[in-house]
Structure 1
Amino acid sequence: MSRRCELNLEKAVMSGNNVSHSNRKTRRRFLPNIQTFSLLSDALGTFIRFDAAPSTIRSVEHNNGVDNYLLKASPSNLGKKAKALRKKIIEVLKAKQAG
């Protein structure tokens, strides 16, 4: 599992310094809280598994589901899996409108 959120690429490993009481600085990594979630796609009718941050999942719930979140999010902020899912959702919604 990579240390990057699949739904929001801004959530990734950051680096910084540990600063001691004597003000010595040593490098460290700040790891994001990445967990595995299964989210229901209403358009596709299936559960999709994502490695995402809980803060991103709260954003998904705020947007009334993963479908609305992916349609509203800019593609540049989405991972490969999320971009592919976004395309499938758009295709399914266009097919439902046409037929």
Structure 2
Amino acid sequence: MSRICELTGKGRQVGHNVSHANNKTKRTFLPNLQNVTLMSDALGTSVRLRVSTHGLRSVEHVGGLDNWLAKTSETDLSLRARRLKREVAKKLDGAKAA
């Protein structure tokens, strides 16, 4: 399982540990990923995603998973999140037409 946020695309970063003697050794900075269950109001179901805490705060700030998916471009989203975005959009378009 890759260490990438399914909503924001945030992944690992590479840097150095720097000692007092200024020796540099490679290290990785991993995002704080959590397994969360988010509710989709449009679909009426809950969705399990692997999301960074930064992404979770962003989703709550925007007003929920459906609003987040509507505002985010598909390039940042994982494959599962892209499919979810299409389902939500289809459901919302069907509700507007009716």
Shorter-chain TM-score: which interval? over 0.9
TM-superposition CA deviations, 1:56-87 (whole Å, max 9, x none): 11110111100000000111111111111000
Q: What residue ranges of structure 1 are gaps of 5+ in the alignment?
A: none
Q: Which moved more, 1:71-80 or 1:36-45?
A: 71-80
Which residue of structure 1 lines up, in the alignment, with residue 64 of structure 2? 65
Q: Distance in 1 between matches of 2:35 and 2:17?
A: 29
Which residue of structure 2 lines up, in the alignment, with residue 6 of structure 1? 6
Matched residue SS, 1:75: coil
Q: What residue ranges of structure 2 are gaps of 5+ in the alignment?
A: none
Which residue of structure 2 lines up, in the alignment, with residue 24 of structure 1? 23
Trace 1:1-99 onto structure 2 (pairs within 5 A). 1-9=1-9, 11-99=10-98
RMSD of aligned alpha carbons: 0.8
Identity over aligned pairs, percent: 46
How far apart are residue 31 of structure 1 and its match?
0.9
TM-score after normalising by structure 1 = 0.95
